[in-house]
Amino acid sequence: MSAERDQFGRSIEYLRISVTDRCNFRCLYCMPADGLPWLPRADILSYEEIADVVGQLAPLGLRRVRLTGGEPTIRPQLEKLIAMLRAIPVVEDIALSTNGVKFDEYAPRFREAGLDRVNISADSLRPDRIAKISRRNFSFDPVRAASAATAAGLAPVKLNVVVMRGINDDEIADFARLTLDHPWHVRFIELMPVGEMRDLTWEHVVPSDEVLARAAEIAPLHASSGPAGNGPAAYHAFAGAAGTIGVITPMSHTYCASCNRVRLTADGRLRTCLFGDHEVGLREPLRAGQPLAPLFREALASKPREHALLQMQVGGLRALSQVGG
């Protein structure tokens, strides 16, 4: 069955599911140091309810899901949800976005439950800097987390680096070099003006062209098709490298035209654009036993052509942790 299309003819086959708005990190660009007003627990969808939503959207063409948050791995026994989603026959691809804490412990367990692939957020390779950016003191090593993912059979493994001038931009080459020997896809993300970035300003944004130029100082880069699973990144690679280098430029509209995704917030609201405010509440209809297909179609009918990020003020949008970034 082909996927439902929105009013601009885009097939919607990909759902990003926020399983919690909470997190064990307080990344400078995502959350204030003292956290955010968390959702009441009773408002958060249970694993059974999330699986019910996916099961009801699957006949409409949903094929791929990503578990995100907040930090999805802090929700107890996430492998149970992974297994429930794996049991839905038409779901072809189950992915996870995580900050990678304790991932050496989780990777085999999640893989066994049916997880296909993982994106690990890694803004630095230096422990002191990781603590400064995440405002937490976990012993966390992104290379160890990515190695555990590869060893468990998760593929592709992507490392997401939010580049911030004067904070971690001197590590662009170190991250790029990882792709020479490891089958990893390092994706440099431009900092976005969302949430409450009290400690960051526009001056911290490093344009993607500059990132690529700095990576290319190691060796020439050529365009690459990148890993499977079409996303918003443009990929490049060093000759003979095991992995690739991607750049994600959320401020441009380059990927709106092919946007194939919608988002489910932890409290069961369907969002059609990461940077828009339009939402359709699914939790109450779900709990009342109503069918979700008409609500899904209603949401798609209002999916905007493109986001209006460039017109927005820093702090004018909710943090990505609140909407399932």
Residue closer to ligand SAM by CB (options 55, 232) is: 232
Q: How far is the CB of 30 from ligand SF4 (least distance, A)?
A: 3
Which residues bind to ligand SF4, rule: CB under 6 A? 23, 25-27, 30-31, 69-71, 99, 121, 321
Residue closer to ligand SF4 by CB (options 25, 238) is: 25
Residue with tokens 């344009």: 207
The dihedrals phi and psi of 198, each to the nearest 5 degrees, come to -65, -30
3-state secondary structure of 269: strand
- Residue 191, contacted partner among ligand SAM, ligand SF4, none, CB below 5-8 A by kind: ligand SAM
Q: How far is the CB of 158 from ligand SF4 (least distance, A)?
A: 14
The residues, ordered by sequence, that sit 6+ positions from 150 with a Cβ below 8 Å of its Cβ are 157, 182, 183, 184
* Number of CB atoms found within 10 A of residue 325's CB: 21
Q: How far is the CB of 320 from ligand SF4 (least distance, A)?
A: 6
Q: Is 9 exposed, middle or buried (0-12, 13-18, 19+ CB in 10 A)?
A: exposed
Which residues bind to ligand SAM, rule: CB under 6 A? 23, 29-30, 68-69, 71, 97-99, 121, 160, 162, 189, 191-192, 194, 320-321, 325
Q: How far is the CB of 213 from ligand SF4 (least distance, A)?
A: 26
- Residue 244, contacted partner among ligand SAM, ligand SF4, none, CB below 5-8 A by kind: none
- Residue 20, contacted partner among ligand SAM, ligand SF4, none, CB below 5-8 A by kind: none
The dihedrals phi and psi of 68, each to the nearest 5 degrees, come to -145, -160
Residue closer to ligand SF4 by CB (options 23, 81) is: 23
Q: How far apart are CA 212 and CA 172, in angstroms?
A: 9
- Residue 31, contacted partner among ligand SAM, ligand SF4, none, CB below 5-8 A by kind: ligand SF4
The residues, ordered by sequence, that sit 6+ positions from 48 with a Cβ below 8 Å of its Cβ are 84
Residue closer to ligand SF4 by CB (options 21, 279) is: 21
Q: How far apart are CA 247 and CA 305, in angstroms?
A: 22
Q: How far is the CB of 129 from ligand SF4 (least distance, A)?
A: 14
**Which residue's beta carbon is nearest to the bound ligand SAM?**
325
Q: How far is the CB of 101 from ligand SF4 (least distance, A)?
A: 8
Q: Can the peptide bond before residue 207 be classed as cis, meaning omega within 30 degrees of 0?
A: no
The count of C-alpha atoms lying within 13 angstroms of the C-alpha of 123, restricted to the half-sphere facing its C-beta, is 25
